[in-house]
A and B are shown apart, each in its own frame.
Chain A
Amino acid sequence: MALYPLPIAKYTVAALGVLFFLVLPLSLHEYYLSIANLVWISIIGALGLNILVGYTGQVSIGHGAFMSVGAYTAANFATRLDFPWPVNLLLGGLMAAAIGAIVGIPSLRIKGLYLAIATLAGQLIIEWTINHVTFISGGVQASIEVPRPQLGTVVLNTHREMYFFLLFFVVVAIVGTMNLMRSRVGRAFVAIRDQDIAAEIIGINIFRYKLLAFAISSFYAGVTGVLYTYYFGIANYEQFQIGVSIDYLAMIIIGGLGSVLGSIFGAAFVTLLPIGIRYGMEAVSGVLFSEATVHNLIPALRLTLFGALIIVFLVLEPEGLNRLWRNIRSYFRVWPFAY
């Protein structure tokens, strides 16, 4: 396997690189970059969750809590010990990995729905702990302000600067995930997902690899949390509650389980969908309804459509956007022939 199996792939990667590293950040308005930044951060979180859910076949409804673990770890090191951001990022990820492995312990005995609910419990217990232990949360307000990240002497505070900062980690996360899945560890994950008993018989240490999957997945979540913290300038656990865990699950299901591209599509889709729906509604609904109705209609329709799309994907395209994308690609590859 090489990075470029076909010459066209080489050009595609190069073109994407130019597009995302040069054309978009230098041409778009800051507003669009701020949206891109939200997408970048969620891609990292979605990749992490997909490693656990899509590749290893475990379930987690506690991804948001692992983000808050990363966020508070980094924020505490940043404010108490004045550590620079790269150290905090790493420490936040590692702490989340450790907590994630602990929350993953029940996975050794239970799976499926029971595991889902156990991780839900993990989410609630982590939230409770942060809320009540002021040593972690920095006070009853449970929010810790952090300074903007610095590169040398440049303080990164505009969305354009943050764009490059975050995109760098997205690339690292994507390459890291792809490599992980090509390694012994990644193959062990897939083996556990496909048939855990068989995996054990061929000599995979289920105990170790399941916890490793939780740890790696939570590491990504922790990093996501740290990046949110630096992006917002504050760590606050109310930004990482149960709804966030569910949003990330929606991302990987809509995008496609067990696929890197799917995680990217899903993260982008879930982040952009509400924004897109709002723009669409703003353009057309003013003609049909009164202003007061529109104000109620837009959010209601957005939430309803979001729910409906999850269901539609589950029913019609279980493999998500990734599969849809492959279908489209193969459709055009052989066009105008049917197959």
Chain B
Amino acid sequence: MLEALDLQFTILLLSNGVMIGLMYSLIALGFVLVYKATDAVNFAQGEFVMIAGFVAVGALTVAGIPLWLSILAALVAMVGFGFALERVMLRKLIGRPIIAVVMATIGLAAILRGLGPFGIFQGTRPLPLPLRDEPFILGPLFIPPIQLLGGIVSLVFLAGFGYFFLKSRKGVAMRAVADNQQVAMAMGIDVERYFGLAWAMTGVVSALGGVLWGNMLGVDVNLALVGFKVFPVVILGGLDSIPGAIIGGLIVGLVENLAAGYIDPYVGGGTKDFAPYVLMILALMIRPYGIFGKRIIERV
């Protein structure tokens, strides 16, 4: 089947994988930020993206305000949501086993989906961005504008958060909190404030994810399904690593596309969403802390 390995097609698959992978990274970034700063895991990441999409589309179509203001509204709403959530729910779960936080966020996901039959949460709406659908053609590459934008946003956030954690005072404090809450408290850091900040940062990333993915998928309850893409990405990259989220996203994007292009035809089924999970299991056995993750996984 060598003729199937058509070079042009392979290049297209790879570029597609890179682009979509960066879109996954954006979602995974929200997950990693919270884990890095608070040791909590957010199984409602997809629902975060969904409500951000609903807020943006609601502002745009129901309230009729301009696009940039709608996106701003989504940002503000999600930051507020992140702060509020930390305050009401997650602060009470600090120090509890991981499964408690997992279940709490699953409960949260149920609440958010339960809002479905009401008001702006009902039905499917497009979220048009001033981008054309036709791809940019660069030599052999077709690059869809929305994915290019998604990739750029992901990379900007990577750089931004990377700088924040490494250089800024707040970022250093946040790393200290993540490292050891008690010592951080003893050093006079207001731990709870930084937890709130971490959730608010996740809100920012989710808001942009909601707008970009909302444009790709249309805004309805199915938007939450992008949350499923997070797990292989964060495990491969490392749960607490921001560059890991990018690398993990790229790996998943590439593996998915190559699997769809070169494995599916032989097995007659969709291996696309399955291949990253297989890879993930292998990665867990070989390098359980991910490619960039901190090496503090307890060996047993």
Contact = CB atoms under 8 A, between A and B. Distances in A.
Interface of A: 53, 59, 106, 108-114, 116-118, 120-122, 124-125, 128, 131-132, 196-197, 206, 246, 249-250, 253, 296-297, 299-311, 314-315, 318
Top 7 closest pairs, chain A to chain B, by CB: A307-B110, A310-B107, A303-B114, A304-B114, A307-B111, A296-B117, A121-B277
Nearest to B230: A117
A114 B114 CA distance: 28
A302 B110 CA distance: 10
B235 A311 contact: no
B274 A128 contact: yes
Interface residues of B, number: 44
Residue in A110, A132, A305 whose Cβ sees the most chain B Cβ within 10 Å? A110
Given A131-B269, A249-B103, A307-B107, A300 B89 contact: no
A308 B115 CA distance: 12
Contacts of B116: 300
A110 to B, nearest CB: 5
A59 B104 contact: no
Given A114-B288, A128-B269, 9 more contacts: A109-B288, A117-B231, A249-B99, A300-B118, A307-B109, A308-B107, A311-B107, A314-B104, A318-B96
Contact of A253 (B41, B103, B109, B235): B103
24 contacts: A59-B102, A106-B285, A110-B288, A111-B300, A112-B98, A117-B231, A121-B278, A125-B277, A197-B300, A206-B300, A300-B114, A300-B115, A300-B117, A303-B111, A304-B110, A304-B115, A305-B114, A306-B110, A306-B114, A307-B111, A310-B106, A310-B110, A314-B93, A315-B92
B284 A106 contact: yes
A109 B274 contact: no
A148 to B, nearest CB: 33
Given A110-B284, A310-B103, A302 B277 contact: no
Nearest to A59: B99
Contacts of A299: 114, 117
B103 A314 contact: yes
A310 B288 contact: no
Nearest to A316: B92
Contacts of B239: 113-114
Residue in A108, A253, A301 whose Cβ sees the most chain B Cβ within 10 Å? A253
B114 A314 contact: no
B298 interface: yes
B89 A109 contact: no
Given A300-B115, A306-B110, A118 B281 contact: yes
Contacts of B235: 114, 117
B267 interface: yes
A121 B114 CA distance: 26
A318 B274 contact: no
A299 to B, nearest CB: 7
Interface in B194-221: none
Contacts of B125: none
B235 to A, nearest CB: 6
Contacts of A114: 235, 239, 284, 288, 297
